[in-house]
Amino acid sequence: MKEEVVVREAKPEDKEAVLEFCQKTWEWGDYIPEVWDKWIKDPNGKTFVGLIDGKPVGITNVTIIKEGEAWLRGARTHPEYRRRGVNKAITIKCLEFAAEKGAKIARLVTDSTNLPAQKALEKLEFKPVAKFIEWENERIEAKPYKFSKLAKKEDLDRIWSYLGNSECFRRCHGLYIKLYTWISLDRKTLEEFIVSDRCIKSEVGGEILGLTLFDDEVSREWRENSIQICYIDGNFESAVDMLKFLITICKERGIKKIYAFSCDYTPIVRAFERLGFKREEHEEIVYEKNLG
């Protein structure tokens, strides 16, 4: 007889039982111990726990990242309780919560090698919408650049128009990243990047050839001197030039490490490779479900 999976909102007292089965998710451990307390208190989200016979055996967090969009993360199942419908039951509860909060779209990300997760997501009618490559660079040395600079507010219309015709933007499904969360990039968000001096433009003869969005939330979250490239777009030459500009900024500011994600778009991939960024072996696939 199949055990019943009971799903409820996580409680602070679930922490010990949950962290017990989150110790060996990866070789280095797991990030759940670092975020548990914050997730429990998140006013924009919920952490749901799945129980069998009253024992916590799985969790997932869901949060409303912007109006109309939900993000699911931290799906974990006790190794002894896998393939028993635990994750499915929790995910359904997360989607119900997201819909109640007005979300029209729910997204999450999984590793390209995690075939069981991909099959499970497809059964729940999630669709793969974009694939991303992860990059890192700790070789921060000033490099000569030619036609890149920080964008200004008066550039907003031209940059937004550029994105509207961008093959790279299409392949990214119109998404940018903060930490490990993918969010739709709209005009208002682009403007916020620009006015806060976090948008690099590549421009020649008045024509926008590319843009790079970056942020230092990784530095605040992980307590290290780093930044993250949230989105990069352009041809090979413009991407190389913008990366040189960004690396030079990092050198001037004493930043020690750059994290990045890009879609599998040849000009961008070649630019990262040209400048010696280290590529992660596996790709990340963003899945999406329409909540109507």
Read off the CATH number of the domain in which 15 is found: 3.40.630.30
DSSP helix/strand/coil, 216: coil
**Domain boundary, last residue among 103, 125, 146:** 103
Helices (H), the chain: 15-20, 32-41, 86-100, 115-123, 156-164, 167-171, 187-195, 217-222, 236-253, 266-274
pLDDT at 266: 97
Are 10 and 61 found together in one domain?
Answer: yes
Are 140 and 265 found together in one domain?
Answer: yes
Helices 236-253/266-274 angle, 10° precision: 40
pLDDT at 220: 77
Q: Which residues of the chain are under the pLDDT cut of 70?
A: 1-2, 27-28, 222
Which backbone phi and psi does 172 adopt, to 5 degrees?
-80, 0
Are 79 and 146 found together in one domain?
Answer: no
Are 143 and 270 found together in one domain?
Answer: yes
Are 72 and 155 found together in one domain?
Answer: no
**Domain boundary, last residue among 58, 88, 103:** 103
Distances (CA, A) of 163 to 28, 132, 220: 38, 18, 29
Are 99 and 229 found together in one domain?
Answer: no
Token pair 């994290």: residue: 259
pLDDT at 199: 99
pLDDT at 292: 81
Range of the structural domain that residue 59 is part of: 6-103
Token pair 């694939």: residue: 131
Contact 153, 262 (CB under 8 A): no
289 inside domain: no
Are 152 and 264 found together in one domain?
Answer: yes
Token pair 């819909």: residue: 99
Whole-number Å distance between alpha carbons of 189 and 175: 11
26 inside domain: yes
DSSP helix/strand/coil, 79: helix
DSSP helix/strand/coil, 55: strand
Contact 91, 60 (CB under 8 A): yes
129 inside domain: no
pLDDT at 1: 46
pLDDT at 222: 67
CA-based radius of gyration for the chain: 20
Tally of domains in the chain:
2
**Domain boundary, last residue among 103, 121, 156:** 103
280 inside domain: yes
257 inside domain: yes
Which backbone phi and psi does 216 adopt, to 5 degrees?
-110, 20
111 inside domain: no
Contact 259, 226 (CB under 8 A): yes
Are 279 and 138 found together in one domain?
Answer: yes
112 inside domain: no
Which is it for strands 69-77 and 55-66: parallel, antiparallel or unpaired?
A: antiparallel
Q: Is 88 exposed, middle or buried (0-12, 13-18, 19+ CB in 10 A)?
A: middle
pTM: 0.93
Are 161 and 203 found together in one domain?
Answer: yes
Are 92 and 218 found together in one domain?
Answer: no
pLDDT at 243: 98
